[in-house]
């Protein structure tokens, strides 16, 4: 059996899980020869280091890897620099690359894929989206024969953990602290809660599933930090819950793409995802809806995808690659919306809000007001008939200036389960 020699760049949570996965005789065709990391002496004291084997070269110098005879470089350090430079050098030297680097693949994936093809090697990134859930190979291999027109889902396990905890009554700040203590969220959680992590993954899925190259900076995002416990109470009255949803859909011209907390009907598969689970629903012209679901966070789950990519390289498997084209992006779509107001109650508030909505081009569908809130800080909700996100944004800007407002109004898109129409921008 031909051995495939591999080098591991990064010996953090995922890297250690990969080494543990290689122990024993489970993958006899894979041979780990190098591990690169900063402060290598400290890393060699970890439990996982004991599974690496005495023949492995531990190093802090990337030249030891790039100048070696390894067949595959596994990049798990993350970030754009120096990861991009190292990957480029590896590909140019005839080494295949397996990576979990979602930001790098989102921004520079097409360029790096062309570089890999030019040097006759592979660039695989199955671990960049949804951890151990085989979304990317499923899209490339299993759905390559369909024409996927829409991808939507829950792509960030941290946000799903936070929102599903808030669904039971916990406060955002408390749950965020728990998520950080458990290692689900970083000390600076902006990438997760702000939607930027999910945005990168959505751009990768758009390219793989719909052959659409998107500029991540053009994809609209909204933070989940704006969501409060009261919103889950009102969502339940509307037969819904709240999840961070990533959605991309082909239009006649360009592409709709958005990452935001949204009201999700309880009969939607997206509402069933709890904790750190990821879920992706793809919609094809021929095959209809296909659902991918599983644990998307954690070292072991991500290591499954890394090891699967390594096996694919070792066995000479080739992914289906369809030519992708750059697409313009809009975050504007027609949908019903949820608007939550917190006001100092006084006569004429509903009339003023209704007038502001009408002036912006939105019509009220319903008004909900739960008992138990003080008049000095009254929380109530208006839902609208379907209209553009941009219309609601103008309405929020207008109502935010009313002197009765205690806080800026919160606007959330409301998903419609059986909506098969394309967004209209």
Q: Buried b vs exposed e over 363-379: b needs ≥16 C-beta within 10 Å?
A: eeeeeeeeeeeeeeebb
Please, which residues bridge with residue 7 across strands?
34, 73
Sign of the CA dihedral running 390, 392, 396, 398: positive
Contact in structure between 396 and 362 (CB atoms under 8 Å): no
Opening angle at CA 275, ends 269 and 256, nearest 5: 50
Burial class (CB in 10 A: 0-12, 13-18, 19+), 334: middle
- The total of other beta-carbon atoms located within 10 Å of residue 220's CB is 17
What are the residue numbers of the active site?
201
Q: Copy the structure tokens of residue 419.
A: 């909506």
Dist. CA 384–CA 362, nearest whole Å:
7
Antiparallel, parallel or unpaired: β 240-250 and 148-154: antiparallel
């Amino acid at each position: 059996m031909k051995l495939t020699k591999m080098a591991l760049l990064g010996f953090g949570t995922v890297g250690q899980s990969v080494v543990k996965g290689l122990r024993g005789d489970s993958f006899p065709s894979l041979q780990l020869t190098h591990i690169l990391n900063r402060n290598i002496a400290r890393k060699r004291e970890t439990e996982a280091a004991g599974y690496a084997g005495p023949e492995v070269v531990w190093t802090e110098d990337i030249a030891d890897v790039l100048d070696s005879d390894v067949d595959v470089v596994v990049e798990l350090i993350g970030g754009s620099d120096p990861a991009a430079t190292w990957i480029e050098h590896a590909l140019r030297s005839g080494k295949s690359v397996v990576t979990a680097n979602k930001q790098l693949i989102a921004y520079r994936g097409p360029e790096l894929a062309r570089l890999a093809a030019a040097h006759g090697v592979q660039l695989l990134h199955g671990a960049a989206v949804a951890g151990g859930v085989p979304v990317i190979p499923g899209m490339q291999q299993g759905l390559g024969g369909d024409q996927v027109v829409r991808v939507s889902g829950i792509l960030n396990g941290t946000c799903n953990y936070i929102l599903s905890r808030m669904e039971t009554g916990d406060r955002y700040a408390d749950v965020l602290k728990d998520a950080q203590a458990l290692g689900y969220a970083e000390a600076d959680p902006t990438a997760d809660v702000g939607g930027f992590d999910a945005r990168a993954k959505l751009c990768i899925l758009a390219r793989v599933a719909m052959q659409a190259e998107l500029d991540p900076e053009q994809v609209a995002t909204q933070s989940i930090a704006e969501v409060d416990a009261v919103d889950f109470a009102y969502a339940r009255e509307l037969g819904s819950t709240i999840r961070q949803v990533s959605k991309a859909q082909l239009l006649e011209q360009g592409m709709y793409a958005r990452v935001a907390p949204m009201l999700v009907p309880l009969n939607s598969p997206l509402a069933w995802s709890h904790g750190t689970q990821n879920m992706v629903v793809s919609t094809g012209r021929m095959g209809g809806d296909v659902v991918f679901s599983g644990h998307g966070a954690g070292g072991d789950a991500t290591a499954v995808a890394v090891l699967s990519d390594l096996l694919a390289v070792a066995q000479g498997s080739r992914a289906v690659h369809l030519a992708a084209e750059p697409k313009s992006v809009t975050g504007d779509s027609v949908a019903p919306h949820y608007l939550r107001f917190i006001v100092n109650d006084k006569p004429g508030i509903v009339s003023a809000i209704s007038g502001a909505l009408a002036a912006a081009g939105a019509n009220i569908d319903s008004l909900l007001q739960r008992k138990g809130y003080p008049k000095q800080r009254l929380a109530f909700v208006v839902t609208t008939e379907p209209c553009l996100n941009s219309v609601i944004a103008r309405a929020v800007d207008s109502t935010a200036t009313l002197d009765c407002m205690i806080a800026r109004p919160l606007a959330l898109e409301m998903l419609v389960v059986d909506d098969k129409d394309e967004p209209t921008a």
